Structure 1
Amino acid sequence: MSRKKAFLFIVLLGLVSLFADVTYEGARSIIGPFMKTLGASAAALGFAVGLGELTGYAFRLISGILSDKTRKYWLFTILGYAINLFAVPALAFAGNWQTALVLIIAERFGKALRTPARDVLLSFASEEVGMGKGFGIHEALDQIGAILGPLALTFALAFEKSYRFCFFILLIPALVAMVLLLTARITFPALQEMKKKKDSPVDRNLGKTYWFYLAIVSMVAFAFADFPIIAYHMKSFEVAKDFFVPATYSLAMAVDAVAALVFGHLFDKKGFVALAYAVLLSSFFPVLSFSNSFPLIFAGVILWGIGMGAQESIMRAVVAKIVPAEKRGFAYGMFFTVYGVFWFFGSWIMGTLYDINRFYLILFSFVIQFAAALLLLRMKRYEW
């Protein structure tokens, strides 16, 4: 694959993610207050979101192994996107929070099915343009959708449309994403046959570098409060009108997109230091995001967006750098599974801590993230 074709594929796959994110990130921006209207407590919300993420990450190990074994990367990608996307508009018909939980899990299951295979395809193309740049471009396009989705729902809520109406109209971008994905499949049918041209710069297997890195990433996942909990906090303290919640999430996604490009570029130049700086900055978001002041919450969400940008781009690029091509499906599957387990227990714990005293959540989140940033700085010795 030429550099030009590789770039084209990255952009096309990024457009798929753009419209997919309009769908499920739009839903994510209002799921917190929607669950509250269905009678869920903060602990129940933390459990629901965490269990959804656990499902979405845990199954990635299986789908990653199967995609490596069968080499059916496109099959897993297309089927996963279909489940992932069409579970969202079904939320319009959820009559209680338990039903909403089932659909949240279904949406995350679909993402689990397609993500390892999708990232392997993306890593093949990114070898031609730079891992940090390739994943950064994909994440930036992805986050444009994550901006547009919450913004669309912001206007819908501002015009006094219901949460159910918001979920239902997300069927439109879901259909567009599937059309673009099938276009990519037709245009690049044999992408999985690409071979690596360069040797892996650190390890040729899942050795100590991979496992040490995974341990640090797990700390970040364990202590990174998900946006629905922040949105729940905004709703509980009535710091702003309802339509400001998805608008704030849209801001976070905009920061995410910019951060992905900036830190992706720095990653290609500086390695692990770029990721360490991103985690260090984002570690301060809980101090601001769980305050009683909307301006402070607004500032905290900006730092939250920086953290998400790093997690969704650089953290994935590192795996492609330290693992050979033929093992990336398994490596991504293991990465996301462990990440998801820690995300689940962290979300549940932080939801419970919030119900007791939000100061405990703030302390828990900040200390662990800050420690993870310091450990990432130690990985400079493993630079390629």
Structure 2
Amino acid sequence: MKQFETSQDTPASLRSIPSGIWALGFVSLLMDVSSEMIHALLPIYLVTVMGASMVMVGIIEGVAEAAAAITKVFSGALSDWLGKRKLLAVIGYGLAALSKPVFPLAASVEWLVAARFVDRIGKGIRGAPRDALIADIAPAHARGASFGLRQSLDTVGAFVGPLLAIGLMWLSANQFVTVFWAAVVPGVLAVAVLLIAVREPARPADLRKVRAPLSLPELRRLGLPFWLVVCVATVFTLARFSEAFLILRAQDMGLSIVLAPLVLVVMNVVYSLAAYPAGALSDRVNRLTVLILGFLILIAADLALALPESLAGVALGVALWGLHLGLTQGLLATLVADTAPPELRGTAFGMFNLSGGLALLAASLLAGMLWDAFGPQMTFLAGAGFTALALVGLGLVRWRVPALGHSRKKS
């Protein structure tokens, strides 16, 4: 049976989390603010100002996200082959920052498509190496707290960005270009913080050199526990389709279009508040116990959204959705770090992110078809069903690999 990294140290407080983790968290926050200031307005800008069709908007988003998902696999594997994480993270964040000035300067839809594509490629390049770098920096006894903190700060950016965009649009009398230029600033700051404040730990001398990270022998080295985590996470992702359906459900229950962005604000506020405590808790108890709680909360969220009696019911469902994200997303990443060999962490996060990205695409397509054919109630009930299936799978994993999820050795 594979031995997981553990520690007998006392679980970390916020102050004892390494400064590199804090720095990576603020890098994520700043880049998310920059990206969301643009992305919150981009669909409207494309259609109303640039004259793009809704089909073009869909193509842009689909191609960009697919490119990001595929790039994650290769960037993670490359970081294992090079034995360097920070270099690829800097390239990824740098590309995203360089793409930002193109949005206010773009004279045609083609330039906006190119900028969006480069931005998502940058996201794909940085994702797996950054997560592997967090795993390399974080002490074993504080790994859950470290991933939770990074996730929490990242999510703060996800709701601060749209709020800043709304405020600047109001102050500038709906000048899209002014908001796009303002978004350049946090993007540049993110790269500066990464360059200055994040130090990559020295590669241990006895760590095995990886020559072909994506070869079948190396993928087998990731081990059964890792692949079981990926399988459970993939089934679980089929239950958590795009948050756009939360907005549609709120509008279906009478929420005005003007207030629609508040749905994501509520969700992300709860998400950001829950992510760090959930990670810290997972360093004290079995991680799978916290994960099971997150799965149960998603079932409750789906039921609240499937059977709401008013907008208050939808608000409850949205808040529970954010809570489940806080209890699961950082923990799944922590389990990847727990189970993957240190020299293959980049590859592991790349494979994990690819399977999750493809599952999210399939989940959103399925949710759309169920919504059109049977209505919103069936969409969320199906989500509850997939979550229940993932919960059964998680129980089987816990039975098959009893050591999985234990963050510390028992004295």
TM-score for both structures, normalised by structure 2: 0.78
CA contact (8 A) 2:73 2:351 kept: yes
How far apart, CA to CA, are the structure 1 residues paired with 2:180 and 2:186?
11
CA-to-aligned-CA distance 1:282-341 (integer Å, 9 cap, x gap): 234345457694433322221221233244311110011111211111111111111111
How far apart, CA to CA, are the structure 2 residues paired with 1:99 and 1:230?
31
Structure 1 match to 2:345: 328
What secondary structure sits across from 2:18 in the alignment?
helix
Select the structure of larger CA radius of gyration.
2
Of 248, 252, 255 in structure 2, the residue corresponding to residue 239 of structure 1 is 255
Of 159, 180, 187 in structure 2, the residue corresponding to residue 147 of structure 1 is 159
Matches within 5 A, 1:255-334: 255-268=270-283, 269-289=285-305, 293-334=310-351
Letter of the 2:314 counterpart: I
Residue-pair matches, total: 371
What secondary structure sits across from 1:193 in the alignment?
coil
How far apart, CA to CA, are the structure 1 residues paired with 2:290 and 2:109?
40
How far apart, CA to CA, are the structure 2 residues paired with 1:26 and 1:196?
45
Change (3 A) 1:266 1:300: same
What secondary structure sits across from 1:342 in the alignment?
helix
Whether 1:135 aligns to 2:150 is no
Change (3 A) 1:292 1:318: same
Shift in Å, 1:351: 3.1
CA contact (8 A) 2:99 2:118 kept: yes
How far apart, CA to CA, are the structure 1 residues paired with 2:316 and 2:45?
24
Structure 1 match to 2:21: 10
How far apart, CA to CA, are the structure 2 residues paired with 1:93 and 1:353?
40
Letter of the 2:164 counterpart: A
What secondary structure sits across from 2:260 in the alignment?
helix
How far apart, CA to CA, are the structure 2 residues paired with 1:152 and 1:205?
45
Matches within 5 A, 1:17-56: 17-29=28-40, 49=61, 51-56=63-68
Change (3 A) 1:366 1:105: farther
CA-atom RMSD in angstroms: 3.4
Matches within 5 A, 1:1-384: 7-29=18-40, 49=61, 51-87=63-99, 90-92=102-104, 103-127=115-139, 129-157=141-169, 161=174, 165-185=178-198, 188=199, 190-193=200-203, 205-231=221-247, 234=250, 239-242=255-258, 244-268=259-283, 269-289=285-305, 293-356=310-373, 357-381=375-399, 382=401, 383=404, 384=406
How far apart, CA to CA, are the structure 2 residues paired with 1:102 and 1:292?
44
CA-to-aligned-CA distance 1:332-371 (integer Å, 9 cap, x gap): 1111111111112222332344344333422332211232
Q: Tell me whether 132-141 or 104-113 shows the greater mean CA deviation.
A: 104-113
Letter of the 2:132 counterpart: V
Change (3 A) 1:194 1:217: same
List alignment gaps of at least 5 residues for structure 1. 198-203
Shift in Å, 1:220: 2.1
TM-score for both structures, normalised by structure 1: 0.82
Shift in Å, 1:137: 1.6
Letter of the 1:171 counterpart: V
Structure 2 match to 1:200: none
Change (3 A) 1:340 1:256: same
How far apart, CA to CA, are the structure 2 residues paired with 1:100 and 1:285?
36
Structure with greater helix share of residues: 1
How far apart, CA to CA, are the structure 2 residues paired with 1:347 and 1:93?
32
CA-to-aligned-CA distance 1:244-292 (integer Å, 9 cap, x gap): 3333322222211222112212222222121121122123434545769
How far apart, CA to CA, are the structure 1 residues paired with 2:261 and 2:58?
18
Letter of the 1:321 counterpart: D
CA-to-aligned-CA distance 1:171-215 (integer Å, 9 cap, x gap): 221121111111124xx2x42525799xxxxxx932222112211
How far apart, CA to CA, are the structure 2 residues paired with 1:191 and 1:132?
19
Change (3 A) 1:302 1:214: same
How far apart, CA to CA, are the structure 2 residues paired with 1:96 and 1:145?
28
Percent identity for Structure 1 against Structure 2: 23
Change (3 A) 1:158 1:230: farther
Letter of the 2:354 counterpart: T
CA contact (8 A) 1:240 1:294 kept: no
Shift in Å, 1:130: 1.5
